[in-house]
Structure 1
Amino acid sequence: MTKRTSAKYKLDRRMGENIWGRPKSPVNKREYGPGQHGQRRKGKLSDFGLQLRAKQKLKGYYGDLTEKQFRRIFSDAERLKGDTGELLIGLLERRLDAVVYRAKFVPTVFAARQFVNHGHVMVNGRRVNIPSYRVKEGDVIEVREKSRQMVVLLEAVQLAERDVPDYIEADHSKMTATFVRTPGLADVPYAVIMEPNLVIEYYAQN
């Protein structure tokens, strides 16, 4: 299990938002930050503060990526032709752990990273155990046959709190998913507002 599993609760409380839209989020009960000073009134954030918060929220959403990992993805998006913010979202959604999560094979992004790491996933018939592996349009992702009766998998498929987005075609009877197309910001079912434009501003100044 990744050392950042507890981050999913810390991040929600730090941001004051239910980042993944989960029913068990601590923010559902209290909307102030963690610690003894969490209930103090929050001052208005500076432009830098807003940019940093947008970056931390987007970075945290995908399993609390390290700064080095996230910066590399941003650099890749910058090198491509087109809207850097849209391209950044597209590259994040092409991560194998993100696709496994979107296909509802696991309940959380953190579980998706572990699921891939432990070798339960195949891409186009070949086992891939690298969560950051970048899938391409048309790739078929499937759960290995001997892993298909895992409790975490069977429970995740039944989750009513989220649906499989239309850029992924999932067949839960066969435990397969096809990455149909690279999504843009409007296509991704984030539970909160993501602002990749602020992430671009943050990196432009830092």
Structure 2
Amino acid sequence: MARTTGPRLKIMRALGVELPGLSRKSIENRPNPPGQHGNQASRRRRSDFAVKLMEKQKIRFNYGVSEKQMRRLMLEARKGSEPTGEKLMSLLERRLDNVVFRAGFAPTGISARQLVNHGHILLNGKSANIPSIRLQVGDVVTLKEKSRKIPIVVEALATPSLTQPEWLSVDSTTASVKVGHLPSIEDVPFPLDVQQVVEYYANRV
């Protein structure tokens, strides 16, 4: 897991996009990049490399993955007949910590990873504490009964950060979520040009 340190809002301002997995805060009132020359930087044309790098960083920060993990995922995404970018995002969306977040059990992906790491989650009835576990169709993720009383969980359930995606079926009475089908590129909850990411790694992995 890639540990995010420093002000999360500053990261989103630098990338020019709100990343729900990183923070619930909005950059609406401060859309320009941080720093003394933020206004000038926002008007300057970015190089092709800078654009590719920023698109890649959006993924890394939203899903909390390291560069090493990104390279492994990209290698896996290249296999098969499915478009590389679409497969990459499906692999990321199906991470256990992301499903916990997208189901509304945690306010951010970072909080979801903590819930998983600390043993608050069941996967198909068994304890699961590895955030990167990849879910398959039919898998069921459940909050342990005692864990449903954690203040951050109670708040997240009352005011979810995002609309629950169609590929997940959430049962609020049992605090569980089932994977109905695999997610698509349209399910990514922030604007992303994934082809730029594929091109970034074209000669790097």
Is TM-score (shorter-chain normalized) higher than 0.5?
Answer: yes
Contact kept? 1:165, 1:189, Cα under 8 Å: no
Name the counterpart of 2:55.
54
Over residues 173-197 of structure 1, what are the superposed CA-to-partner deviations in whole Å (9 max), with x where a residue is unaligned? 21100011111111x151x311111
Q: 1:169 to 1:7 in 2, by over 3 A?
A: farther
Over residues 14-70 of structure 1, what are the superposed CA-to-partner deviations in whole Å (9 max), with x where a residue is unaligned? 112222296632x2221111222323244211211111111111221112x210011
Contact kept? 2:9, 2:25, Cα under 8 Å: no
Query: Aligned-pair distance for 1:145?
Result: 1.6
Matches of 2:3 and 2:87, distance apart in 1? 28
Question: In angstroms, what is the RMSD of aligned CA positions?
Answer: 1.9
The TM-score, its normalising length taken from structure 1, stands at: 0.90
Structure 1 residues 163-174: aligned runs within 5 Å: 163-174=163-174
Name the counterpart of 1:183.
183
Matches of 1:51 and 1:18, distance apart in 2? 17
Contact kept? 2:167, 2:179, Cα under 8 Å: yes
The partner residue of 1:202 within 187, 200, 203 is: 200
The TM-score, its normalising length taken from structure 2, stands at: 0.91
Contact kept? 1:171, 1:177, Cα under 8 Å: yes
- 5+ long unaligned stretches in structure 1: none
Query: Aligned-pair distance for 1:140?
Result: 0.5
Matches of 1:23 and 1:122, distance apart in 2? 25
Matches of 1:135 and 1:5, distance apart in 2? 27
* Secondary structure, counterpart of 2:25 in structure 1: coil
Contact kept? 2:56, 2:197, Cα under 8 Å: yes
Matches of 2:107 and 2:164, distance apart in 1? 12
Structure 1 residues 111-190: aligned runs within 5 Å: 111-159=111-159, 161-186=161-186, 188-190=187-189
* Secondary structure, counterpart of 1:142 in structure 2: strand
Q: 1:88 to 1:171 in 2, by over 3 A?
A: same
Structure 1 residues 3-152: aligned runs within 5 Å: 3-4=3-4, 6=6, 8-20=8-20, 24-25=25-26, 27-42=27-42, 43-63=44-64, 65-152=65-152
Matches of 1:196 and 1:118, distance apart in 2? 32
Query: Aligned-pair distance for 1:3?
Result: 4.3
Which 10-residue stretch deviates more, 9-18 or 117-126?
9-18
What percentage of residue pairs aligned between the two structures are identical? 39
Query: Aligned-pair distance for 1:98?
Result: 0.5
Q: 1:160 to 1:108 in 2, by over 3 A?
A: closer
Matches of 1:99 and 1:47, distance apart in 2? 32
Q: 1:105 to 1:6 in 2, by over 3 A?
A: farther
Paired amino acid for 2:25: K
Runs of 4+ in 1 over 3 A off after TM superposition: none
Over residues 125-172 of structure 1, what are the superposed CA-to-partner deviations in whole Å (9 max), with x where a residue is unaligned? 110100001111100000112212111111101115421111000111
* Secondary structure, counterpart of 2:114 in structure 1: helix
Matches of 2:157 and 2:133, distance apart in 1? 23
- 5+ long unaligned stretches in structure 2: none
Matches of 2:118 and 2:80, distance apart in 1? 32
Aligned residues: 201
Matches of 2:169 and 2:177, distance apart in 1? 5
Matches of 1:4 and 1:139, distance apart in 2? 28
